[in-house]
């Protein structure tokens, strides 16, 4: 598979994943008041309701959201120290570009390391959906894209 094709596939899958997980979040009126666990539960519930998921599909959705949450936690564990580092660089007379680039590369590499796990869980969930459910996701994705652009 060519590199650009692979990149498009990953971007497309991540876009679909984002749309899928944000179905409920966009419509939530008080999402800012929710804890992260409540947000995940809310989104899973909205996805389950909209797609009319069965128990097996719910398990696969749960595995996917668990992997996404674990990735989020892993990528944000050093968030405070990273913010302090960036803030100190912004306050300095001269920004250390190499330091900031290393910070970016570290985060990117950590995400790239976890992405195959997310994609595997996403593919597993996607494979469990029927044609009508997949079509609903596509329609929502197109509708959301058209609404924003």
State pLDDT tens for residues 42-101.
888 988 999 999 999 999 999 999 998 888 888 888 888 888 988 898 899 998 999 999
Average of per-residue pLDDT values in the chain:
83
**Residues 74, 110 contacting (CB under 8 angstroms):** yes
125 closest CA partner among 9, 16, 24, 49: 16
28 closest CA partner among 16, 11, 40: 40
pLDDT of residue 98: 93
pLDDT of residue 102: 92
Q: Residue 23: which pLDDT band, with cuts at 50, 70 and 90?
A: low
pLDDT of residue 80: 87
Residue in the structure block whose two tokens are 């929710």? 34
Cα angle, residue 135 at apex, residues 47 and 144 outer, rounded to 5°: 65
Beta strands in 86-144 (DSSP E): none
Q: Which two tokens stand for residue 11?
A: 């971007």
CA distance 86 to 95: 9
Q: What percent of the chain has pLDDT over 70?
A: 77
Q: Residue 126: which pLDDT band, with cuts at 50, 70 and 90?
A: very high
pLDDT of residue 54: 95
pLDDT at 124 over 80: yes
pLDDT of residue 39: 85
Q: Which two tokens stand for residue 48?
A: 């389950």
Q: Which two tokens stand for residue 14?
A: 């991540």
DSSP code, position 29: S
pLDDT of residue 130: 94
Q: What percent of the chain has pLDDT over 90?
A: 31
Q: Residue 138: which pLDDT band, with cuts at 50, 70 and 90?
A: confident
pLDDT of residue 123: 92
């Amino acid at each position: 598979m060519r590199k650009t094709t692979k990149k498009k596939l990953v971007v497309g899958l991540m876009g679909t994943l984002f749309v899928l997980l944000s179905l409920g979040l966009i419509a939530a009126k008080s999402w800012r008041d929710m804890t992260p666990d409540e947000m995940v539960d809310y989104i899973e519930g909205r996805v389950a309701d909209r797609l009319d998921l069965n128990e097996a599909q719910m398990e696969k959705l749960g595995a996917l959201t668990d992997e996404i949450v674990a990735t989020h936690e892993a990528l944000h564990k050093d968030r405070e120290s990273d913010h302090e580092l960036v803030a100190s660089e912004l306050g300095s007379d001269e920004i250390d570009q190499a330091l900031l680039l290393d910070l970016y590369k570290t985060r990117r590499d950590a995400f790239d390391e976890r992405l195959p796990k997310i994609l595997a869980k996403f593919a597993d969930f996607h494979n469990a959906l029927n044609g009508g459910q997949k079509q609903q996701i596509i329609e929502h994705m197109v509708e959301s894209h058209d609404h924003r652009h």
